[in-house]
Amino acid sequence: MRFPSLPHSRGWLSLSGRGWIRLLSLAAGRTACTDCIRWRNNCDTNRWQRSTPGIEFYAEFVAPLAGSTVSRTGKPKATHRVGGISSQNLRYVEILLARPWSVTLFANNGFPLANEAEVQIANPVSFLAQKILIHGRRNRQDRAKDILYMHDTIETFAARIDELRTEWANIRPEFHANSVRTVQRAASLVFGAVTDPIRAASRIVQGRALPPEAIRETCSLGFTRVFGERDREK
């Protein structure tokens, strides 16, 4: 099954964490869990929500972060404001634009829209790579959430892991050599042993038993199969 890149005139949908996992489940041919997208936080200025009776729309805006995390005046460059919208500045956001996948949203797959809508989402390989590249800069809570998101992404595509490996071969030329090495070494450096962030990821799981070792094993195997250290540049 192919998920071709779409023209940029099509709609883009940027979601964090569970909302994105829900859409990937649709792309993988699974029924989306209706609980996945209910989480939200109205306190952040880069997050926008509109509600009508029975319908909620929630969007999060992000922008690339280049250079230092602080300006010359010492002010943190956490957000960027354009046209009245504040976006959260994150590193390696541009990776999420590589070879996007398309998902069609309609009422029967959990999105109560008057008409079908086709949106673009980051492909799972780009998502996994971006999470690893920012891993060392994240705080404890965010590291735990990211590990759980990576686990769920790999688990969702377990039966199609070879397709993800092909996707990696297609987008790898767009990565800097240092980023390629970082991603390829994640299986051993991030998931080589059970760590405190992996234990924290296990504790925040709801509705299922997911021991730390199960998270580590799934992620280690998934990263090895998709990104394969044996493909490291010589």
For the chain, how many structural domains are there in total? 1
Residue 2, in any domain of the structure? no
At 212 the pLDDT is 97
In a domain, 220, yes or no: yes
* pLDDT score at 84: 65
77 assigned to some structural domain:
yes
Q: Could you identify the residue written with the tokens 């965010």?
A: 142
Read off the pTM.
Answer: 0.72
Look at residue 151 in the predicted model and tell me its pLDDT: 95
Residue 174 falls within a domain, yes or no? yes
Parent domain of 222: 11-231
pLDDT at 72: 73
Residue-level pLDDT at 211: 96
pLDDT given at position 166: 94
Residue 8: the pLDDT is 31
Mean pLDDT for back-to-back runs of 10 residues, the chain (234 residues):
30 45 50 35 43 58 69 68 68 84 81 80 92 91 94 92 94 93 95 97 91 97 87 42
> Is position 6 within any domain?
no
pLDDT score at 58: 58
The pLDDT, as a whole number, for residue 146 is 94
Indicate whether 3 belongs to any domain: no
Question: Cβ distance 192 to 150 under 8 Å?
Answer: no
Whether 1 is covered by a domain: the verdict is no
Neighbours of 189 (CB within 10 A): 14
- The answer to whether residue 210 is domain-embedded is yes
